[in-house]
């Protein structure tokens, strides 16, 4: 089941994202660190009602943020659709013990269906340039790579921006 997250679940969510960060680091991918994702970011996500969890038998297995807010870093990108009617995916995570079971696909299916249902014209996101697995994941779903942005607190390497026109 995918549902909105509660503030009381943020410690569990942070635990999952930290485990994901450790797994990525073991694979030489330094995408998430002590600065990101943060408790403050998840609190804001819950307050905006944009943080969702994938739950199975009372355990949170994954997370996704479906936002309508466009970060400043995204403004220079030449998007495929006009700004103002897109959703933005952030902080997609699946507990490492449950990766490889299609849960990230389920979360993205949910986000794309949500976006269509609410009449958004596209779904936008970014993924780390050094995370080739994520790039293939999004490209196989039909997302188009459009340009690069930087998050200096996370990495010196760029993040690729992607968009799926609905």
The whole-number pLDDT of residue 139 equals 98
pLDDT band at residue 48, thresholds of 50, 70 and 90? very high
Please give the CATH architecture assigned to the domain spanning 2-165: 3-Layer(aba) Sandwich (3.40)
Opening angle at CA 133, ends 72 and 52, nearest 5: 55
List strands edge to edge, sheet with 2-4.
2-4, 51-56, 59-67, 86-94, 122-128, 159-165, 144-149
Mean pLDDT of the chain: 96
For the chain, give the percent of residues with pLDDT over 90: 92
Q: Which residues contact 151 (CB under 8 A, 6 or more apart)?
A: 36, 73, 159
Q: Find, among 29, 37, 35, the residue nearest to 11 by Cα.
A: 37
With cut-offs at 50, 70 and 90, classify the pLDDT of residue 156. Answer: confident
For strands 86-94 and 2-4, give the pairing: unpaired
Counting beta carbons within 10 angstroms of the beta carbon of residue 95, is it exposed (0 to 12), middle (13 to 18) or buried (19 or more)? Answer: buried
Say how many CA atoms lie within 13 Å of 49 toward its Cβ.
0
What is the number of other CB atoms lying within 10 angstroms of the CB of residue 92? 22
71 DSSP assignment: P
Report how many helices (DSSP H) and strands (DSSP E) the chain contains, helices first: 4, 7
C-beta of residue 163 within 8 angstroms of C-beta of residue 112: no
Looking at the predicted structure, is the pLDDT value of residue 1 above 80? yes
Whether the model pTM is above 0.75: yes
pLDDT for 85 beyond 80: yes
Q: Is the pLDDT of residue 153 over 80?
A: no
Task: Look at residue 154 and tell me whether its pLDDT is greater than 90.
Answer: no
């Amino acid at each position: 089941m995918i549902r909105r997250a509660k503030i009381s679940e943020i410690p569990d969510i942070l635990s999952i994202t930290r485990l994901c960060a450790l797994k990525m680091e073991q694979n030489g991918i330094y995408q998430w660190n002590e600065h990101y994702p943060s408790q403050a970011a998840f609190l804001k996500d819950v307050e905006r009602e944009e943080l969702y969890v994938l739950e199975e038998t009372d355990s949170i297995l994954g997370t996704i943020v479906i936002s309508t807010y466009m970060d400043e870093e995204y403004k220079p990108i030449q998007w495929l659709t006009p700004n103002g009617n897109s959703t933005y995916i952030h902080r997609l995570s699946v507990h490492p013990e449950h990766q490889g079971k299609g849960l990230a696909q389920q979360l993205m299916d949910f986000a794309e269906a949500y976006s269509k249902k609410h009449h958004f014209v596209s779904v936008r996101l970014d993924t780390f340039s050094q995370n080739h697995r994520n790039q293939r994941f999004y490209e196989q779903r039909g997302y188009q790579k459009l340009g690069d942005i930087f998050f200096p607190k996370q990495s010196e390497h760029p993040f690729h921006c992607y968009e799926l026109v609905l």
